[in-house]
Amino acid sequence: MRDIRFMRREGRILAMQQCLSCFMPVSEISEPPEKTLYCSYCTDEAGELLPREQIQAGVAEWLKSLTPEDEETDYMKRAGYYLKASPAWAED
């Protein structure tokens, strides 16, 4: 399964593959998909997917950076909901 989005660069529309864990852009479609299933934020040095809790903490920090003045939101909980939408962490 490949999650693809489109973006415009220099007047051209490019297809981009997204990380199957956190949806970050990974590569242009021309790269082999087996090398680009997950982004560098979601993998270790060997390219293996990190534990869900570690990725959830990173997503929580990213979400918090979008609204730093909000001190009431449970960003870990929100990140958990976010990850449920991704193929890597979707619940059956």
Give yes or no for residue 46 having a pLDDT over 80: yes
- Kindly indicate the confidence band of residue 1, based on its pLDDT and cuts at 50, 70 and 90: very low
| Intra-chain end-to-end CA distance of the chain, in Å | 16
Give yes or no for residue 60 having a pLDDT over 90: yes
Spatial separation of the C-alpha atoms in residues 4 and 29, rounded to whole Å? 8
Domain ranges, ordered by start, for the chain: 4-84
pLDDT of residue 7: 52
Three-state SS at 1: coil
pLDDT of residue 51: 96
pLDDT of residue 31: 47
Q: How many helices and strands (H and E) does the chain possess?
A: 2, 3
Q: What is the mean pLDDT of residues 54-66?
A: 96
